[in-house]
Amino acid sequence: MERFSSLSPTSKDRSLSFVKHPSIRIDINYRELLLHEIRYELRKMSALLLESLRAWWPETILSFGALGVLLLGAWVRPAGPSKATSNGGLFAAETSTTSTRLFWIASGVILVASGVALWFSPTSPDSETFFGLIICDPLSRVLRWIALATTALVILMVVDSREVVSHRRGEYVGLLLLIGLGLMLMAEANHLLMAYVAMELVSLSSYVLVGFLDQRRSAEAALKYLFFGALSSAVMLFGMSLLFGLTGQLGFPDILQALMRPVAGSGALMMVAVTFLLAGLAFKISMVPFHMWTPDAYEGAPVPVAAFLSVGPKAAGLALLLRVMTALGPRWPDLEPLILSLTIVTMTLGNLVAIVQTNVKRLLAYSTIAQVGYLLIGFSVNSNLGLQAILVYLVAYMFMNLGVFACAVAVVNDSGNESLEAFRGLAQRSPVLAFLCTLFLLSLAGIPPLLGFFGKFLLFGAAVESGQIVLAIAGVVNSAVALYYYINLVRLMYLLDPQQARPLHLKLPLRLAVVLCGVGTLWLGLFPNELVALLRGSSFISLF
Amino acid sequence: MLSVLLLCPLIGMLVVLALPKTAVRAIRFVALLASGLALAFAIQLFQFFRPQEAIQLVERIVWIPQMRIFYHVGVDGLSLPLVFLTVLLGFIACLASASITERQKEYYALYLLLEMGMLGTFMALDFFLFYVFWEVVLVPMYFLIGIWGGGRREYSAFKFFVYTLAGSLAILLAILMLYFRTGTFDMVALAQMGPLLEPDLQRLLFVAFFLGFAIKVPVFPFHTWLPDAHVDAPTPISVLLAGVLLKMGGYGFFRIAYPICPEGAQWAAGAMAVLGMINIVYGAFVAMAQTDFKKLVAYSSVSHMGFVLLGLASLQTEGVNGALLQMFNHGTITGGMFLLVGVLYDRAHTRDLNAFGGLGAHMPKFSGLLIFFGLASLGLPGLSGFVGEFLSLLGAFGVWRWQTVVSVLGIVVAAAYILTAIQRVLLGPPNERWKNLPDVNPREMASLIPLVVLILALGVYPLLLIDLQDGAVQQFIAHVKGP
């Protein structure tokens, strides 16, 4: 930190200046002076750290909580070896002992505490938190809420999931909480290194969680995900180092200032740096051509983990993308055609490939890619309305996509079958679940009066406003294409008879998750005014 | 007042959802009550309605202030007849829904949601609200065809959904383009601002609106969803599809495409007239080739909706009045035809025209009604079908001469296919297979009699309806033609 900032002529005077003069001959007066300076600096630093911590309670609680749950998991191992060996089938025997319940109570307490802390945490527009590593502006606050809510909803889904053997549940929940922490860090990173560390935290936890099923394909998926992820993060790191070499800066505001000045003869190299940097982010949000890992990883992962991966990293990655692009603002005209065409390709490819899927996780993976394409519309138009639209659509996407995954959790839990056929006749087995699932699917397809429609309305509106009619038309045509596979699921649920007439009952936590998502999708869709008012204040990025 | 009308089916739907699945009689009663109340309220509306005024009975509440979106409803002479048609057919089709024997709770809930969507479409004066209602109609319709339909119901329901959604997305784009040019979703204000836009933009917007509305009408070559959906839908839903849903497309032209983009409308008038002509003649000839009775009625709808386009393209008082009349009359006549085909199908379980013959001897009431509706459909003077077609042709003749002349051919062919169908079903040697078919029962009679009365009344005294709409029509023409 100190070395980097000392390289920059413009950086503010926050470097630890005493380290700079180690060779000065120290006489008594001088030593006094130096000690005084050290004391002063230390006091200043600790004041700054304390000040920063005040804004950082949610993350602190979450990180200690996550580590605590992990420790608890290692300590309390309820199931004997008999349980571990009995999992020849897809599911282990269900053991809901009091000790496993402990994890849910612990994680619930941690999340609620973190939420309360976030509620009271200040949003300071200045970027001095942790020496400028972290920014707590309104935008990051919204995305921290999204990260926390996503984590909470996914944990509700995990509680009664029968996919994972019970003696691993401590690690399971701990890692989920760690991803939540990583997402929050991604949302508020204001510095390339911070962004990198946060993304690695999310990625590493995700690799483990994808491989959590005791199945060959799960391990394969995790390995594939790991290779792709390692490659892309290496590429991103390379891009970062190039960018650092060119500008001498790592903090986003400093990079922006450095780029404002004309840099002679570095145009091509700068493009390489920026492209590499974007590649890493594109990997996280499954943007074409870095989407290949998505269907495989989702298919191998437990359903709740796939749900988490399809919402959390997408939201946080998009937030980071927004910040990085704001910092690279002067370079935007060079990149615009590339981003624009990739946006169109992303949604088209996602939608077209989703049509032929028969596994529900793969279907939702391609649907995720398509939805990311819609979100990128707001990013490509690079306008204030576009940013607002992204935020609204992210909230919508969180509710509807987690909702649809929660329905998938229920169905997969019940039937042990991941093919779309498992949804057959759901309307007769559980009318409420089928109704809510239809709501989520129609919202994803963009049918009013659901929240997904309102988000799309804003996104397409942003495209029209900035004169990118092609983008709007591409989005519209894709919406019609997407209807095909969303309505196919609805058809299976309502128009066909079930394979088994047994009614499907949901356990309380899962029911809570589905209903919460349903209320969010329908109620906010009918009355989005409050949400828009709330997000409108957050839709600017403060870099100065 | 109008909100009460919207709330009737909505509250009805919520009550139906709250009732247990097995309480079929209660569910049916609630649905009938809700649609009956809506009908009663709509009849009350005529008392408050002042034909010489423009938009009235307006309600305007802020909905999403950040985007200047309002809950904004109102009616005028263009929409009031269609609102009445909706609640009338809504009640009649609800009566006819007794033929639905499975999953009644879901059926009636979706049915009432559909009715609310249709009503809202005709009353909305805010573009956002309009679009919401427009789309709300699609979803229940998909399920109603897909679950309770016959034949290739899944395919037909899906085709209907995708076609209309594709069209409505074009409308969405046009709405957004208008919003970012003018800063409002208010349809009344947009009708004032629209004509001031550049002619090129107006033409572009007209094309986008045309795509959306033409698929709904349906205009050739976007009509292919119609025969599938109409044939495979259950009888009451066919009635609403033909009676009300097609009018949503026509109404879109009247309320949105023409007033907001008058330049585009005049630019496309020639094409509209030709498309109307193709609809009339093509629909009639294809109808003549059908052996499935329901398909015949479906294609006759394509033909009859052509008169709406032709009359609209003329932009003359007679033509536009005729087009509006034709929309209302087609709703009552074709609705009745579908009900009668349903009556026949419920008893014989076939709709093949060649399988029948000599039914006139066994089913006198049915025969009388079928002949009555058939004659109304082919445009016999004295029944309402004639008035709308005649006025449309009269208005168009001065402007689009040869198109009108060719269109008259459609009436001749209509006479041919309707009379042939009547002959095959009712006349000829009695078919022993159908000797024991019971005649029309009182419930079916009750659903058909109001339509008979309306058709007769409007055929003899069309001023009943023209008086209501003429003021709005004059304003409409003056507005579109400009100073």
Q: If DSSP codes are grouped into helix, strand and coil, which group holds residue A528?
A: coil
CB contact under 8 A, B169 and A465: no
Which chain B residue's Cα is nearest to A490?
A: B143
Per-residue pLDDT at A81? 42
CB contact under 8 A, A532 and B67: yes
CB contact under 8 A, B64 and A480: no
**CB contacts, 8 Å: A465 with chain B:** 180
Which chain B residue's Cα is nearest to A481?
A: B162
Candidates B106, B173, B179; nearest CB to A476: B173
Candidates B64, B162, B176; nearest CB to A528: B64
**CB contacts, 8 Å: A473 with chain B:** 173
Per-residue pLDDT at A261? 78
pLDDT in tens, A371-404: 999 999 998 888 888 888 999 999 999 999 999 9
pLDDT average, residue stretch B355-371: 86
A–B CB contacts, 8 A cutoff, strictly below:
73
Report the C-alpha gap between B71 and B60 in whole angstroms. 6
Q: So where are chain B's domains?
A: 2-481
Which of A491, A496, A523 is the best substitution to test chain B (most B C-beta atoms within 10 A)?
A: A491
Per-residue pLDDT at B220? 85
CB contact under 8 A, A457 and B136: no
CB contact under 8 A, A461 and B176: yes
Q: In b/e form, how buried is each residue of B283-308, taking b as 16+ CB within 10 angstroms?
A: bbbbbbebebbbbbbbbbbbbbbbbb
Distance from CA of B138 to the nearest CA of A (A): 9
Report the C-alpha gap between B157 and B152 in whole angstroms. 9
CB contact under 8 A, B176 and A473: no
Phi, psi of A55 (to 5 degrees): -80, 0
CB contact under 8 A, A480 and B169: yes
The answer to whether the CB of B435 falls within 8 A of the CB of B358 is no
CB contact under 8 A, B142 and A487: yes
Report the C-alpha gap between A199 and A320 in whole angstroms. 10
Distance from CA of A469 to the nearest CA of B (A): 9
pLDDT in tens, B136-193: 999 999 999 999 988 888 899 999 999 999 999 999 999 999 998 888 899 989 988 8
Per-residue pLDDT at A368? 94
Distance from CA of B419 to the nearest CA of A (A): 38
pLDDT in tens, B322-342: 999 999 999 999 999 999 999
Please say if the pLDDT value at position A271 is more than 50: yes
Which of B132, B152, B163, B207 is the best substitution to test chain A (most A C-beta atoms within 10 A)?
A: B132
Per-residue tokens: B89:
């057919």
CB contact under 8 A, B165 and A480: yes
Report the C-alpha gap between A182 and A151 in whole angstroms. 11
Report the C-alpha gap between B41 and B7 in whole angstroms. 11
Per-residue pLDDT at B30? 93
Per-residue pLDDT at A13? 42
In A46-158, at which residue ranges do the beta strands (DSSP E only) sit?
Answer: none
Per-residue pLDDT at A91? 45
Least confidently predicted of A5-19, A427-441, A495-509: A5-19
Least confidently predicted of A131-140, A271-280, B450-459: A131-140
Report the C-alpha gap between A451 and A393 in whole angstroms. 8
Task: Collect all residues from A whose CB is shorter than 8 A from any CB in B.
Answer: 427, 431, 442, 447-449, 453, 457, 460-461, 464-465, 472-473, 476-477, 479-480, 483-484, 487, 490-491, 494-495, 527-529, 532-533, 536
pLDDT in tens, A57-116: 888 899 999 999 888 887 776 554 444 444 444 444 444 556 667 778 888 888 888 888
Distance from CA of B245 to the nearest CA of A (A): 18
| Confidence tier at B248 by pLDDT (50, 70, 90) | very high
The answer to whether the CB of B78 falls within 8 A of the CB of B126 is no
Distance from CA of A487 to the nearest CA of B (A): 8
Least confidently predicted of A39-53, B80-94, B376-390: A39-53
Cα B244 to the center of its chain, rounded Å = 3
Which chain A residue's Cα is nearest to B174?
A: A464
**CB contacts, 8 Å: B166 with chain A:** 480
DSSP one-letter code for A449: T
What single letter denotes the amino acid at residue B81?
P
CB contact under 8 A, A476 and B162: no
Per-residue tokens: A248:
């001498």
Candidates B63, B132, B142; nearest CB to A448: B132
Distance from CA of B163 to the nearest CA of A (A): 9
Which chain B residue's Cα is nearest to A485?
A: B158
- Cα-Cα-Cα-Cα dihedral of B230, B236, B239, B241, to 10°? -50
Task: State the pTM of this model.
Answer: 0.90
Distance from CA of A443 to the nearest CA of B (A): 12
CB contact under 8 A, A464 and B135: no
Report the C-alpha gap between A366 and A161 in whole angstroms. 23
CB contact under 8 A, A461 and B142: no
**CB contacts, 8 Å: A522 with chain B:** none
Which of A384, A391, A432, A457 is the best substitution to test chain B (most B C-beta atoms within 10 A)?
A: A457
Cα angle B370, B371, B375; round to 5: 115
**CB contacts, 8 Å: A476 with chain B:** 169-170, 172-173
pLDDT in tens, A7-21: 344 444 444 444 455
CB contact under 8 A, B147 and A473: no
**CB contacts, 8 Å: A491 with chain B:** 146, 154, 158
pLDDT average, residue stretch B18-33: 90
**CB contacts, 8 Å: B182 with chain A:** none
Nearest to B240 by CA among B104, B425, B112: B112
Higher per-residue confidence, A169 vs A205: A205
Per-residue tokens: A393:
């659509």
Report the C-alpha gap between B51 and B472 in whole angstroms. 8
CB contact under 8 A, A495 and B153: yes
Kindly report the average pLDDT of chain A as a whole number.
83
pLDDT average, residue stretch B85-90: 93
Distance from CA of B145 to the nearest CA of A (A): 10
Nearest to A543 by CA among A12, A14, A127, A122: A127
CB contact under 8 A, B146 and A473: no
What single letter denotes the amino acid at residue B27?
I
Per-residue pLDDT at A458? 92
pLDDT in tens, A224-268: 999 999 999 999 999 999 989 888 888 888 888 888 877 655 678
Which chain B residue's Cα is nearest to A473?
A: B173
Nearest to A45 by CA among A128, A137, A135: A128
Least confidently predicted of A13-22, A499-508, B257-266: A13-22
| Confidence tier at A1 by pLDDT (50, 70, 90) | very low
Task: Collect all residues from B whose CB is shorter than 8 A from any CB in A.
Answer: 63-67, 106, 128, 131-132, 135-136, 138-139, 142-143, 146-147, 153-154, 157-158, 161-162, 165-166, 169-170, 172-173, 176-177, 179-180
Cα angle A460, A461, A466; round to 5: 100
CB contact under 8 A, B170 and A476: yes
What is the DSSP annotation of B418-429?
A: HHHHHHHHHSSS
Q: If DSSP codes are grouped into helix, strand and coil, which group holds residue B184?
A: coil
Per-residue pLDDT at A21? 54
pLDDT average, residue stretch A205-226: 89
What percentage of chain A's residues is helix, strand, coil (to nearest 5)? 75, 0, 25
